[in-house]
Structure 1
Amino acid sequence: MPHLTLDLPHWLTTSQRETIVALAERNHAAHGNDLLGLVLSGSAGRGMATERSDLDVMVVLTDAAAADRSTVKSNEVDEIVDSWSELTTVPPFGTEHWWYRWSYAWAPVLLDRTNGELAAAVRRQATLPPEEADAVLVDHDRLDGWLNFAYRALKNDRDGRALEARLDAAESVPWLLDVVFAMAGRVRPYNKYLPWELREHPLDAWTADDLLGLVQRTLNGDASALRETFARVRAACAAYDERRGHTRTSEMIYGWGTELAIFEPVSGG
């Protein structure tokens, strides 16, 4: 390919490589210099593809070129059109496109014709600078929300309402994962990729086995898992606040006052 040099992950099959090369050639022929780059997302982009997986290739175009294109899906490849403005606009937490940000996490850049600006934009989508992490944890109440569901689950468990406890415990999990990943400056992965990310890109404060074990026990309605998680989160908040030079997350926790007693280990338990 005289005009394009692709950086293809080593784990791709011959068939996948041929599909991507053909896609790149087709887009270069159609758009010339308006083709800014290609990014491989989905299972294939993370070495998790099966025989049933297709390829998710983001085709990054200038705004003008992207205006005349739309995403095309087939059994073999989803050709997802991404304009430069879309790629470089970072949707805040809770907005319509926030959920798509993790699709860029750890996604190999196959082609970057922007002298690295495209690769940097891809990384930015899936990372949280300190101020944005604060916003997720505190301003958007993900920490307080996790505490609320965990607290309700423990009250239900205390009062003998096993089903209700399990429901609240399960509902606490997405909030917990937002908290854990925000403290690490990362967008929470889609559930399908949670074990993969924890093992391939470990968090400093949580090993994969620790966090996945606590999540599984929480989903089973295990009250002791919620108490263990609380202790871990409280310590993580103290460390996070120290790094940030504030006390916002710790203050949110201790603002619960005497209600926190329910998180203390049960005597003899």
Structure 2
Amino acid sequence: MPDLVLDLPAWLDADQRAVLTALAARNHEAHGDGLLGLVLSGSAGRAYATARSDLDVVVVLTDEAAAGRSTVHSPDLDEAVDAWSELCDVPAFGTEGWWFRWTYAWAPVLLDRTGGELTRAVHRQAVLTPEEADAVLLDHDRLDGWLNFVYRALKNDRDGRALEARLDAAESVAWLLDVVFALAGRVRPYNKYLPWELREHPLDGWPADPLLDLVGRLLDGDPAAVRESFALVRPACAVHDERRGHTRTTATIDGWGPELALFG
């Protein structure tokens, strides 16, 4: 059947190709036109697999066909099922579905029987609209929360509390990454894929190796790294505000008033 020809990435080996071809045929046999497409996620979908990696595939079905289906796990294949309405839904930050959005980032679409709608829906999951970026940064306090942790880290360092400073600096990392990726209009990757994404899909203004080095030094509690992170985020927020036509992120930072002296 011509519309079951898969667009398989070049890096997959013969065994992986055979598994994926069989999976497509099996789902077509079970669901016919209810099979809308296949998406290859996980390490194999990003040319990042090891000898122990399996294939993570999202089988996209019509809502009717997806009813009663669930994820199937095996040593070689994880076959997750997404109903069409679920794929088209874009969960907000902080909701249960938010965590799964990065599943679709940079994930090859192996089969799209929707005339491109499925491919567009996959891409949409992993990007943030300007309004979503503002929501992450401001409505969900990721920017202000990050400022709180780096401020506490510097206060503890100033007061000779080395362990406490290290803990706060380390805790600031997750918040910092949410801020950095929101400013770039992208969903933050899972930790496993952070180096991969930064190197394979660079963030404008955030070169991979310097940012990864900064993260490592923050995890070590280096107060110089804490101040460096502030020096990088502040102008990035100004650029974001100019692009958005508001001053909300800059105002959040400026709202710390005299306390900002500690960041100098």
* Category of TM-score, reference length = shorter chain: over 0.9
Deviation of 1:20 after TM superposition, in Å, equals 0.3
Shift of 1:209: 1.0
Aligned to 1:30: 30
1:86 alignment counterpart = 86
Following TM superposition, by how much is the alpha carbon of 1:69 offset from its aligned partner in structure 2, in angstroms? 1.1
Name 2:10's counterpart in structure 1: 10
Distance 1:84 1:167 in 2: 42
One-letter amino acid of the counterpart of residue 229, structure 1 = S
2:178/2:188 contact within 8 Å kept:
yes
Name the counterpart of 2:207.
207
Q: Distance in 1 between matches of 2:152 and 2:22?
A: 54
Query: What CA RMSD, in Å, does the superposition of the two structures yield over aligned residues?
Result: 0.7
Which residue of structure 1 aligns with residue 54 of structure 2?
54
- 1:147-190 deviation line (CA, Å, top 9, x unaligned): 00000001001111111101000100000000000010000000
Which residue of structure 2 lines up, in the alignment, with residue 154 of structure 1?
154
TM-score (norm 1): 0.97
Structure-1 separation of matches of 2:86 and 2:102: 14
Q: Counterpart amino acid of 1:202?
A: P
Q: How many Å separate the matches in 2 of 1:26 and 1:43? A: 23
Paired with 1:184 and 1:140, the residues of 2 have a C-alpha distance of 17
Residue by residue over 1:7-56, the C-alpha shift from the partner in whole angstroms, topping out at 9 and shown as x without a partner, is 00001111111100000010011111000000000000000111100000
**Contact 2:3 2:113 survives alignment (8 Å):** no
Shift of 1:5: 1.2
Distance in structure 2 (CA, Å) of the matches to 1:205 and 1:146: 19
Q: Aligned residues, how many?
A: 264
2:257 partner amino acid: G
| Structure 2 equivalent of residue 197 of structure 1 | 197
Question: TM-score normalized by structure 2?
Answer: 0.99
- In 1, Cα distance between equivalents of 2:240 and 2:233: 10
Which residue identity lines up with residue 187 of structure 1 in the other structure?
Answer: V
Partner of 1:179: 179
Q: Can you give the 5+ residue segments of structure 2 that lack an aligned partner in the other structure? A: none
Aligned to 2:69: 69
Report the equivalent of 1:104. Answer: 104
The percentage of aligned residue pairs carrying the same residue is: 76
SS in 1 for 2:246: coil
- Structure 2 Cα separation of the partners of residues 3 and 154 of structure 1: 59
- Aligned partner of 1:116 in structure 2 is 116
The unaligned stretches of length 5 or more in structure 1 are 265-269
Q: Aligned partners of 1:137 and 1:3: how far apart in 2?
A: 42
